[in-house]
Structure 1
Amino acid sequence: MQERKSALQQLDLSLLFFLFVLMCISLLAIYSAGNSAQYSADPSYFVQRQIIWFAVGTIIMLGAMVVDYEVFKNFSIWIYGVSMILLVAVHFAGIEVNGAQRWIGLPNVFTFQPSEFVKIFMIITLAHLLYTITKVPRPKTFTSDVIVVAKILGVGLPPFALILIQPDLGTALVIFFIMVIMILMAGVTFRMIGLLTTIAVSAVTFLVWMHNNAYNVFIQIIKPHQLDRIYAWLDPQENIAGEGYQLYQAMQGIGAGRLYGSGFMEGVKSQSGDLPEIHTDFIFTIIAEEFGFLGATILIIVYFLLLYRMVIIAFTCNNTFGTYIVAGVIGLFVFQIFQNIGMTIGVVPITGLALPFVSYGGSALVTNMLAVGLVLNVNIRTKHYMFGEDD
């Protein structure tokens, strides 16, 4: 027997609350960043624009909840086609900023980053692909696993490659991680997981060998500025005059925050202007320096609770297509959170990924709000049963 609930009753208010908390943290951190020496001309400029982006993102989130997510199955091929067209358009007609060609639009008027929206398009496309693969029971054989992995990689690798050559390693890695999540969700055997892990480790080992023995070929794959970031990650003090400068300053600021922080708008590194792009890529430095270890821990706990609610939605969803969509969104956020915080504390190299819902930005913020809208869409259309599911 099905227990009927309205869409409003099905709305996950806990998830929305955690999202609201992240918005508040974002506005506080961005306002503090706007008062630093590098932005002192108009301290409220960034926070005002962030409020606008939150408003736009909220409208997009609500819009994503209106249409039944099942409809996306009928348009997944078209969605994938739009993704490829946008990425090809960036290659031929994109706007170049700081050596990267990632944006489309009119300079100084309106621009957007197609690769941000491609993340969502890829989640929908791969979720539908996985749904078609798993809706019919398949034999648990190595050959069957090879076919599944080949299909997922066949869909995911073309946009991955197009984003990588922009170059945008951070977003390309997000696409790659979404593919990994979908492969795991497909239920492949440990033998296949072991093989893929071996291939990945071998690929990294081969790149290291190329760096040492075939450098001219190596830099055609890993661009010089990306290699400089790896050098800076390995030894920021040695490369402090170059790519290591941001990482060194960020780590100094985070360390200075200690347990309780230096106080709102009182951070030495965050207010001195020593750390470029502190309102975007390095927003975590402000939080850790001005609110200390406790403030940073609270932020991470809020992220954990947000993701926990999404995991619950994925588990309670009785539609595999919806489950795969939510799993893809979880993978999207997990990787971006880990990568952004990790790069500010020196755990991983700097890639330029924004901290979801906290960093200043337009395309990234709207994309993340759209992702939350998809999760809420799945949740409000999940059927609940009093005595088990109907056949």
Structure 2
Amino acid sequence: MLKRIIKGLDFIILLLLLILMIISIFCIYSATRTNPDYSQSYIKMMYFYGLGFMVLFIMLFFNYKLLLRFSPMYYFIGVGLLVLLFFKGDTINNAQGWFILPGGIGFQPAELCKLILILFLSYFLSKREVETLRLFKEILPMGVITLVPFLLVLMQPDLGNSIAYLVIFIVVCWFGHINYKHALIGLVIMIIVSGSSLWSYIEYHAEVKQFMASKHKEYWLDRVDAVLLPEQASEKATYHMKQSVKAIGSGSLEGDGYLHGTSVQSGQVPYTYADSIFVVVGEEFGFIGASALLFLYFLLIYRMITIALNIRSQTGIYIIGGISAMFLFQVFENIGMLIGIMPITGITLPFISYGGTSLLINMVSIGFVLSIKIYDDIDVEDIIMR
């Protein structure tokens, strides 16, 4: 067993994780060293990473095909946790999406449900009898499976993670060989719905704003207005984005230097240790540092796709495709919201932002990828799928 694990390990992925860990700890330290309330966050992140690597290596001893058989149970547990949030959840940053565990540790079920959705959709596709996805047999049921957690997370509200569910659904369908005609129909529907929604939002903005105010959800519009209608948005609504863009831009080519970022060290940008941690990279390490970080993400996703291209299991390909899409979307959304091209959402930068739930789920996701590579040639899938 141990020989198989060592032989099947992707040491480049492990090296990339170690590098991302170092970047994360140094950036969190820079972002919090002047704030006594969060000055120990970098130490906590070390513990999270230690636990994350432990969980990752434990997963290497389990064949992913055996873990996958319980994905329907994972799904119902995940949905149950999302429902329970509305009764027992804690509110952080205007989103009722957390359970505060003993010791003050926050647990965010929306993060867990992204991986659960990938596993359940992959399991569902592994049961099909034909190669191309059928509209009523596969696509619509998968859409319903995705819609349930999407709506529950959107109601928290957590726009970033809810959109991630849709991205996962689309990518898994693509890897599952969706019919081009169905893909085209879906694309047309998305364009029509998005276009009409955007037009309606702009045309009836005052009415929408009044309705949201009556529901005490004005902050939803603040985040959207900061991108779509910045001239109508309040100073409070655009503050986060403007400060982020200013800080990243001030980093120029080489950055202001580690621990010398003016905006970061003065606390002008909110949550630089968490969702806005890319500001630390952009301001203190400049374009070169930001580009290096993006290159590391590229290498990580490239290695995962390389594994997918060299395995026999179609189900493994679905899982790796979904995980790659999850990481890619989070990187795009997190950085995009800080440079002014996406709405501000509470989505983390994978492996860099402070957060135990996010990091552990990401490490478990990598554990699945490595398990797929290690156990690809063991034919137990046909047995467990019956």
Same structural fold, with TM-score higher than 0.5 when normalized by the shorter chain: yes
Q: In 1, are the aligned partners of 2:69 and 2:123 still within 8 Å (CA)?
A: no
**Contact 1:253-1:289 at 8 Å conserved across structures:** yes
Q: Deviations over 1:187-244 (max 9, x none)?
A: 1122211111111122223323443346379749995312211111235576462121
Gaps of 5+ in 1: 385-391
1:294 match? 288
Contact 2:255 2:286 in 1 (8 A): yes
Match of 1:137 in 2: 130
Would the alpha carbon gap of residues 106 and 6 (structure 1) be closer, same or farther in structure 2, given more than 3 Å must change?
A: closer
Aligned equivalents of 2:304 and 2:33: distance in 1?
Answer: 35
**Secondary structure of the residue that 1:292 maps to in structure 2?**
helix
SS of equivalent to 1:70: helix
- Give me the whole-angstrom Cα distance separating, in 1, the residues matched to 2:38 and 2:347: 24
1:58 counterpart residue number: 53
User: Partner of 1:316 in structure 2?
Assistant: 310
Amino acid at match of 1:345: I
Shift in CA distance, 234/138, structure 1 to aligned 2, threshold 3 Å? closer
The reply on whether 1:193 has 2:183 as its aligned counterpart is: yes
Matched, 1:100 2:84: no
Equivalent in the alignment of 2:239: 245
Q: Assess if the C-alpha contact under 8 Å between 2:160 and 2:346 holds in 1.
A: yes
- Aligned pair 1:304/2:304, yes or no? no
Q: How many residues align?
A: 373
Measure the CA separation in 1 of the matches of 2:170 and 2:303: 21
- 1-side partners of 2:253 and 2:105: how far apart? 41
Cα-to-partner distance string for 1:33-72 (whole Å, 9 max, x where unaligned): 0124xx1x27741111110111111122122222211113
Where 1:242 maps in the other structure, the secondary structure is helix
Partners of 2:275 and 2:349 within 8 A in 1: yes
Indicate the SS of the match to 1:199. Answer: helix
Match of 2:120 in 1: 125
The RMSD of aligned alpha carbons is: 2.4
The equivalent position to 1:205 in structure 2, one of 180, 192, 195, is 195
Alignment partners' CA distance in 1, 2:220 and 2:308 = 36
Pairs within 5 Å for 1:1-391: 6-36=4-34, 39=35, 41=36, 44-106=39-101, 109-133=104-128, 136-138=129-131, 144-211=134-201, 212-213=203-204, 215=208, 219=212, 223-234=217-228, 239=233, 241-383=235-377
Change (3 A) 1:375 1:22: same
Corresponding residue SS for 2:287:
helix
Given that 1:130 and 1:182 are in contact with CA atoms closer than 8 Å, whether structure 2 keeps it comes out as no
Shift of 1:19: 1.1
- Checking the alignment, whether the CA contact within 8 Å between 1:31 and 1:43 is kept in structure 2 is no
Alpha-carbon separation, structure 1, partners of 2:26 and 2:339: 21
> Secondary structure of 2:273's partner?
coil
1:356 alignment partner AA:
P
In 1: Cα distance, 2:96 partner to 2:229 partner = 28
CA contact (8 A) 2:114 2:165 kept: yes
Partner SS state of residue 174, structure 2: helix
Identity of aligned residues (%): 34
Q: Partner residue of 2:382? A: none
Deviation at 1:248, TM superposition (A): 0.4
CA contact (8 A) 1:237 1:248 kept: no
Please give the alpha-carbon distance, in whole angstroms, between the structure 1 residues aligned to 2:38 and 2:114: 32
